Amino acid sequence: MSDAPAPAPSDLFDKVVNLCKRRGFVFPSAEIYGGFRSTYDYGPVGVLLLRNVKDAWWRSMVQLRHDVVGLDAAILSPPAIWEASGHLKNFTDPLVDCKVCRERFRLDRLDDPEVCPNCGSKHSFTEARQFNLMFKTYAGPVEGAGAEVYLRPETAQGMFTNFKNVLETSRKRPPFGIAQIGKSFRNEITPGNFVFRTREFEQMEMEYFVPPDESPRWYEYWCAERLAWYRDLGIPEHLLRLRAHDEDELSHYSVGTSDVEFLFPWGWDELEGIANRTDYDLRQHAAHSGERLEYFDQAAGERYVPHVIEPAAGATRTAMAFLMAAYDEEAVAREGQGKGEVRTVLRFHHRIAPYKVAVLPLSKKPELSAPATEVLALLQPHYMCDYDETQAIGRRYRRQDELGTPFCVTIDFDTLDDHAVTVRDRDTMAQDRVPIAGLLDHLRARLDA
């Protein structure tokens, strides 16, 4: 991805949403029934993109570290957890209704709290009501008191309720972290901006347990680490910033939070929050459950409740930021025909790109299908590959550009004699002739760097 700040097209948002539908990244959910309230399904390439975002996070937060372990906790959870965490009481947004047009809004997100942004009426709002964002349902056949359960609104509480289990089984000691990726659910009053704010979404969260006096240092450390993660995966510097929360923005559990923000088409908005949650959660769960949630430092002969630094990112929201940052249009000569056209290309970092390689026999003739499927079989154990044998090769290159595929491998009639293929680079469109025997090494040198 180029570092030079190229101006984003003014209709970038619509273009990306359109491309997502056209190329199979994201579909409106239940579309054959008219769609379902800001919910989305990830299509054949969207599921790869999302998986790559999550894999890149897991690699950086768990695989490449010795001090973080993973967890996959249940989504359905008893009220006791949310009573202790404070979510039953505090996880609310102020809701107002316009008495004229009957639209609902989050009061704290209105540009002018006196004016309805839908119908323009002044002083038409009802008194604000605190609306709890958690989805409630019932476990078992009988609805009612005692059967209520909640869909988790954050993955974090699974890490706190399993703190003792992990401490006892993993042989880790503070500073150490527990990481988790999974779905969370919030009954958002105003979902919107495509997959930016939805009621069902995926989070990537890590709770890092530290000795209390070390928490300021680790907070700074994780702010820097997390900002670098986005940069290292190709989001240009000018589209990223770190912003510290004002006092009145802090969640009920936090004494300090900084957001990694991305410059979306509507302005700067949050990708991830890094919070200093202190010992709030462990103390709350200890008090409510009666379990001792502490660490005994044998060397110092000291018992303490660790403090927690939490980098909490959204996987689906981050996938959207990668799409926005990768989108590019450039005027090019039509490949093979010399006629001008605009090509749309997603300049994803290789690690994020849904397919790494597309295998494209020049024609559907069986003489080419046979070597092409051999090339595919050579590459598939190593890389996610697409295979496409219909349409003119120029149109197939354009399709792969729109999917963000870094390399296209073309098998032509010369391949039958020289046992070589053409490797086309997505970003430069340069083509190299590469012997099939050296193809894997050629791609490895470029994709695994």
CB of 320 to ligand GAP, least distance (A): 9
**Given the complex with ligand GAP, which of 281 and 401 has the nearer CB atom?**
281
**C-alpha closest to that of 162 among 207, 109, 221:** 207
Amino acid symbol at 441? D
The CA radius of gyration of the chain, in Å to the nearest whole number, is 25
**Given the complex with ligand GAP, which of 105 and 201 has the nearer CB atom?**
201
What the block records as the tokens of 4 is: 């030079």
**C-alpha closest to that of 200 among 233, 152, 156, 165:** 152
CB of 91 to ligand GAP, least distance (A): 9
**Given the complex with ligand GAP, which of 316 and 400 has the nearer CB atom?**
316
CB of 216 to ligand GAP, least distance (A): 19
**Given the complex with ligand GAP, which of 135 and 387 has the nearer CB atom?**
135
DSSP string covering 175-233, please? SEEEEEEEEEE---SS-BTTTTB-SEEEEEEEEEEE-GGGHHHHHHHHHHHHHHHHHHT
Helix axes 439-447, 366-379, angle to 10 degrees: 50
Other beta carbons within 10 angstroms of residue 99's beta carbon come to: 12
The strand pair at 295-297 and 267-278 is best described as unpaired
What the block records as the tokens of 264 is: 């979306």
CB of 410 to ligand GAP, least distance (A): 39
**Given the complex with ligand GAP, which of 48 and 309 has the nearer CB atom?**
309
**Given the complex with ligand GAP, which of 204 and 409 has the nearer CB atom?**
204
Buried b (16+ CB within 10 A) or exposed e, 5-20: eeebeeebbebbbebb
- Strand, coil or helix: 305: coil
CB of 198 to ligand GAP, least distance (A): 5
Q: Can you tell me the distance from the alpha carbon of 343 to that of 439, in angstroms, rounded to the nearest whole number?
A: 27
Q: How many residues does the chain have?
A: 449
Give the residues across from 427 on adjacent strands: none
Other beta carbons within 10 angstroms of residue 210's beta carbon come to: 21
Q: Can you tell me the distance from the alpha carbon of 221 to that of 248, in angstroms, rounded to the nearest whole number?
A: 24
Residues of the shown chain interacting with ligand GAP in the complex, contacts defined by CB under 6 A: 154, 156, 186, 188, 197-198, 201, 203, 205, 270-273, 310, 312-314, 316-317
CB of 54 to ligand GAP, least distance (A): 13
Buried b (16+ CB within 10 A) or exposed e, 211-248: beeebeebbebbbeebbebbeebbbbeebbeeeeeeee
**Given the complex with ligand GAP, which of 154 and 401 has the nearer CB atom?**
154
**Given the complex with ligand GAP, which of 284 and 415 has the nearer CB atom?**
284
Other beta carbons within 10 angstroms of residue 125's beta carbon come to: 20
**Given the complex with ligand GAP, which of 91 and 348 has the nearer CB atom?**
91
CB of 92 to ligand GAP, least distance (A): 13
CB of 269 to ligand GAP, least distance (A): 9
Which residue in the shown chain puts its C-beta closest to ligand GAP?
314
**Given the complex with ligand GAP, which of 25 and 397 has the nearer CB atom?**
25
CB of 202 to ligand GAP, least distance (A): 8
Helix axes 315-326, 12-23, angle to 10 degrees: 110
CB of 47 to ligand GAP, least distance (A): 17
CB of 251 to ligand GAP, least distance (A): 7
**Given the complex with ligand GAP, which of 317 and 426 has the nearer CB atom?**
317
